[in-house]
Amino acid sequence: MEKIFDLRGGKLVVGGRTLVMGIVNVTPDSFSDGGEFFTTEAAINRATEIIADGADIIDIGAESTRPDAVPITAAEEIARLEKILPAVAKLGVPISIDTYKPEVAARALEVGADIINDVHGLEDLRMIDVAKNFGAPVIACHFEPCNTFDIIGDVQKFFRRTAANCSSRGFDTTQIIFDPGIGFGKTRDDDLTILRRLHELKFLDGREIFLALGVSRKRIIGHLTGQAVTERDEATGALCVHAALSGVDIVRVHNVRMVSRMIRTIDSLTEEE
């Protein structure tokens, strides 16, 4: 399945080769790179760098989503984004805005973003309305704790509910890219099960869906390897290759250069001659 999204930042083909989403955290407190790209100049330089490294999408977030992060207001989040987004938009690569607040998403789409990346999975139904009004694709992330012994079933149930909510509000469900939410409300075993069974999530009720995966430098890698956050890029790359081979359409990463090269190599081996 392949879809061409017409975005302000250019056309984006999802469902062909695996896309690499590069992370730009405009925060002082993100778990991996908090504070590194907090200024406008640093964020623009970072975006320019990862585009050169092969990023297909730039994911910009202004509020940390690590478990112990201190929430900020929508006004604070918008203030961090308003100068950065228009400048990065000029670089010509699609931008996703990493936020769970509808008012932040709306302002971000007005000033340069193209895609909504909602780590609260469109729980706030107003986010669906924002996406519909702007004609923007959405990445809907599963974030709920598993209440059964079947994390795959729980994630699929969430995907199904999200699609139904979007449909009921008149939003085209083919504009949804689903993320199983590694590290969000999950145990180590939940994360491992999802990673091992990613291929099962590629289809929902017999219909192929678009999948994104954010696993870069996350805690599950520390559990698997014993490595500190700054030493987790190789393991991230390995999981991204596994994701690509399992049907994931977009991988979200910090080390774009390394992962992009790995993904391009794998994709070249699986292309039809």
**Residue of 101, 217, 218, 219 marked active site:** 218
CB 128, CB 175: distance < 8 Å:
no
What Rg value do the Cα atoms of the chain yield, rounded?
Answer: 17
- The answer to whether 83 is a known catalytic residue is no
Cα–Cα separations (whole angstroms), residue 102 to 19, 22, 126, 195, 245: 25, 22, 6, 29, 33
In this prediction, residue 31 has a pLDDT band, given cuts at 50, 70 and 90, of: very low
CB 197, CB 151: distance < 8 Å:
no
Q: What is the pLDDT of residue 68?
A: 67
* Amino acid code (one letter) for 35: G
Q: What is the pLDDT of residue 146?
A: 79
pLDDT tens, residue by residue, 132-169: 999 999 999 999 887 778 999 999 999 999 999 999 99
- The answer to whether 252 is a known catalytic residue is yes
The residue ranking higher by pLDDT, 269 or 212, is 212
Among 39-53, 114-128, 176-190, the least confident range: 39-53
3-state secondary structure of 36: coil
Domain architecture of the chain: domains with CATH: 16-270 (3.20.20.20)
pLDDT tens, residue by residue, 215-247: 999 999 999 999 999 999 999 999 999 999 999
pLDDT tens, residue by residue, 44-100: 999 999 999 999 999 999 887 666 667 889 999 999 899 899 999 999 999 999 999
Mode of pairing for the β-strands spanning 138-141 and 207-208: unpaired
**Residue of 17, 46, 107, 252 marked active site:** 252
Instruction: Tell me the C-alpha distance between 145 and 135, whole Å.
Output: 30
At residue 108, does pLDDT exceed 50?
yes
Q: Is 181 left (phi over 0), alpha (psi -120 to 50) or beta?
A: left
